[in-house]
Amino acid sequence: MVMPDNRNEELRCPACGQLPVEPAIEKFGKYLRFACAGCDLHYWYPRALPPASWYEQMYGGRDTKVLPLEPGHKYFLADPLAPRRGELLDIGCGTGNFLAAARDAGYSVTGTELDRNAAKYASVELKLARVYSLTAAEFASRNSGATFDVVTFFEVLEHQAWPKEFIASIRSLVRPGGFIALSVPNRERWLTGPDVLDYPPNHFLRWNMTALRKFLGANGFEILSVREQRADLGHTAQMLNMAMRSGLLHAAGAAAPSFREVMQMEPEEASRTLKAKANFSQRTLGFVAQVKSLACVPLAAAVYPYVYLRELKGTYLYCLARRTSRQSPNTLECNCGTTFTDSGH
């Protein structure tokens, strides 16, 4: 694998600033993935956050519906250490599913979302009056002095090219003694193949509990609770399905490009690919894939006791933290708080 050139300052870990001491652990197209020996973050190089139009193109299928709450949303709403009311800002609110649930739970809610179509849907369809198509930094700049009791960012931190700058913007929006809540894909989750969403330019960072604790502690937050989702029956079925991929039809050109492949395309080519109607071979392959996916469910039920006893981890890693009075950018130590393990039921 490629050895790092330590004369290149851009190779420094974006969380702690340490230069890599080991070769890249993965190569994908023009990107290299490094494992930081200082803070345990895995990060891709090079990194450049795509424009809002890219997210609108890639995630456009989600702009006209309310998705179910994700586990991170549910963990926060049920967390006994989280505030039960107050001013809440959700960064990356999508079409507003969590904002609406938080509003119904008693919070006064505000949201930001890069995808302008999703933001419009949240405002019009869910009657969420304060949803803005801005980044966290843009929102903080345009609302100087505005602070919130809690700032949430679920499935957002892994997308950041420069996480220290991102968390600085977040901290400026949290009142002294206020809270943040977040979730990220757990790097230590059980996988039987590559997660096609977990590659640049969609995701630039891969977190586990150690990296997340060190990063938040170094940037002025005291962790109160951490929760790792356990692999449930659905995750087990997905992993069995993933493990049984042959790749033969894809290699023969029968399958449509994967999301990981579409992400690498130029905007015009990606647009054509996303809008293209499936041909007969692709429709047939899609039907076979659905049958295969359904067939994995009873198999998953049979092997799930083994998965449960092994305590294999699911996708989500959730964290609740409180803003401390002083920021300590040069330390990687933090209070570990309370760790919960999802039962998987």
Asked whether residue 146 falls in the same domain as residue 224, the answer is yes
Encoded tokens for 316: 């989500």
Q: Is the pLDDT of residue 7 over 90?
A: no
Residue-wise pLDDT for 54-84, tens only, equals 888 888 777 778 889 999 999 999 999 999 9
**286 and 176 belong to one structural domain:** no
Considering the domain architecture, whether residues 245 and 335 belong to the same structural domain is answered as no
CA-to-CA dists, residue 14 to 47, 173, 211, angstroms: 10, 21, 12
| 285 located within any domain | yes
pLDDT (tens digit per residue) in 156-168: 999 999 999 999 9
Q: How far apart are the first and last CA of the chain?
A: 40
Report the distance separating Cα 235 and Cα 191, nearest Å.
Answer: 9
Let me know: does 11 contact 22? Beta carbons within 8 Å. no
Contact predicate 88/152, CB 8 Å: yes
Is 177 domain-assigned? yes
The pLDDT value recorded for residue 336 is 42
CATH of the domain at 107: 3.40.50.150
Q: Both 190 and 327 in a single domain?
A: yes
- 2 in a structural domain: no
Q: Give the model's pLDDT for residue 254.
A: 52
Asked whether residue 136 carries a pLDDT value surpassing 90, the answer given is yes
Q: How far apart are CA 232 and CA 344, in angstroms?
A: 5
Residue 338 has pLDDT above 80, yes or no: no
- Calculate mean pLDDT across residues 238-246: 86
Structural domain includes residue 3: no
On whether both 120 and 209 belong to a single domain, the answer is: yes
pLDDT at 3: 64
Statement: residue 155 has pLDDT above 60: yes
| Eight-state DSSP code of residue 46 | S
Is 238 inside any structural domain?
yes
Are 171 and 292 within one domain? no
pLDDT of residue 121 exceeding 70: yes
For 228-256, the DSSP string reads EEEP-HHHHHHHHHHHT---HHHHTT-SP
Q: pTM to 2 decimals? A: 0.88
* DSSP assignment of 137-206: HHHHHHTTT--EEEEEEET-GGG-S-HHHHHHHHHHTEEEEEEEEEEEEBTTS--SS--TTSSTTT--EE
Considering only residues 59 and 254, tell me which one the structure prediction assigns the higher pLDDT. 59
Residue 278 dihedral angles phi and psi, to the nearest 5°: -65, 135
Residues 188 and 122 in one domain: yes
Residue type at position 304: Y
Q: Provide the domain count of the chain.
A: 3
Percent of the chain clearing pLDDT 70 (strictly above): 87
pLDDT value, residue 251: 47
Structural domain of 265:
234-310
**Do 15 and 119 have their domain in common?**
no
**Residue with token string 């700049």:** 141
How does the average pLDDT of the chain come out, rounded?
Answer: 88
In a domain, 254, yes or no: yes
CA distance 312 to 231: 6
Mean pLDDT of 287-300: 85
pLDDT in tens, 194-235: 998 999 999 999 999 999 999 999 999 999 999 999 999 999
Q: Give the residue from 242, 236, 220 showing the smallest Cα distance to 324.
A: 220
Distances (CA, A) of 223 to 281, 282, 316, 319: 51, 47, 17, 7
Q: Which residues contact 337 (CB under 8 A, 6 or more apart)?
A: 222, 223, 224, 225, 226, 320, 321
Helix, strand, coil percent content, the chain, rounded in steps of 5: 35, 20, 40
Q: Work out the number of other CB atoms within 10 angstroms of the CB of residue 322.
A: 20
| Residue 272 predicted with pLDDT over 90 | no
Same domain, 73 and 201: yes
Range in 51-65, 67-81, 179-193, 237-251 the model is least confident about = 237-251
Residues 165 and 206 in one domain: yes
1 inside domain:
no
pLDDT at 269: 79
Shared domain for 238 and 226, answered yes or no, is no
> Is residue 202 included in any domain, yes or no?
yes
pLDDT for 268 beyond 60: yes
Q: Is residue 41's pLDDT more than 70? A: yes
Would you state the pLDDT for residue 328? 52
User: Rounded to whole angstroms, how far apart are CA atoms 154 and 73?
Assistant: 7
- pLDDT confidence bin for 264, thresholds 50/70/90: confident
Specify whether 247 is located in the same domain as 132: no
Q: Would you state the pLDDT for residue 58?
A: 84
